[in-house]
Chain A
């Protein structure tokens, strides 16, 4: 951010307020661009991963090479589709629900460090800011489900509310373990710590439990299989977005992929070394000016590894039942998360005297 502001004030000679606004606009604009491209790629990747697991090819025609243009083509199609609002729907809520869902997740990205200096704001309580802001999504989902005036939609929305709220407990608790190790909530600090001390996942054995708990809980948070009850297509047709069509519908789809990116980014930053390389054999963060951007590539590779596991699970496992999801959250994940936190605390007090 500072570099951008300097660029606008120094090189272009703009006033500080204008420079600040322009810097933020540029940053958020590039973030949006990145997310759009990512989402298209992730959708294509999801279809390819699913296809190969299912012994198919997936998209092969559009664009030539392995159907790479399938997602842009689909996006174009969705944009031109008629925006249908059911006659019994509450129009205002129906209209803004997809925006709220999408904004909530998008806002989480302002605290994610993509590389040294490539971070919009390094918030003091970064980790909890992301958890808190990402849960705004639930409000949007409930609005969508309620305003659709469909029983299936309402069912999906209620399931989503119950599920996401329950799984925030284990996921937030599990994140306390790396926070204990680093001693900070700032996401930037995790990267500097891991560049010095190695990846947090290797800092103590309890961290593996924390990672596993967080990963499972984050799957539930993203409504990914086996926790895709809110949109269980074989039960609730498509859950809360049954009545949506066109671009509004695509926002819900987009939101799922973007929140996958968000939770994977958190997983990578907090457990898997962020943008640092294994054993820090190349100190990416301190490379000369343009090369420190290599960190972005490192982080993206790690993120896609995590996303691949999420996709792999989705196309392998059956869906859980709503009571089993709750049992798992409260009776298994939460105690294990607490155990991991306690274990980490004891380990570090014991090891470091």
Chain B
């Protein structure tokens, strides 16, 4: 057995913030069970990244290196890490919960007869791993009951990225046996769909609307509020999926990240994929008829009520206040 292994993700030649959070979570888990905390970097040409990681970890740092790992593919990454973890037999493997990890870690775990406990927001005694159910309305505690390594991925922002170890890890290289024919998919270069014409990132005030609005015909209600405030209009994903507002106005993990002085969320439940896009707002106001909606978790002010009554009243009150 070889302790806790944290798989770090590189993006544009750097280790991303959520990977440092995973490292911190893994190091804490290791400390709890008196295990070594080790890190893995997968790709090609990861020398300088490994040196940076070695400065923040004191277990091992292993570069899983192969020319066929230069570009991410699910086949390449799961094959390489399967070989590596078969050799290492870890107790725990910790990933950042990114789109890339979602794409291959479940298959990697399955190849090893395991199940990933994904999108973990907390670790309790046991250990039990906490993750959200029903789009954040409930929390579930999960326990790994089988033998073999326990795979988890941690949610963005759930663990503080302050690493607890001081550094001085030794760096080594693991070369997996992979052949080009084993990589069955051909990924293309990332692209953006259209030129962005609105910059929500620099907006001072945003009124954001969710599925609570029910029909596209009701959107003028929200537009009136935004106009009265002098705010930009934004939306949760289903509104953009339906084509009611253009995708460039979508806030969240697959849309824009915003940090206005004021963010008013109207009829938005507050799923994590939405919250990651707006948590940085200075003041959050939530208007929702469900007092248990997760959006109230991140709101400074809340109005529990029917948006079709609250929004017009608010628009009037703002207009009056501005006169």
| A, B in one complex | no
Enumerate chain A interface residues (CB-CB to B < 8 A). none
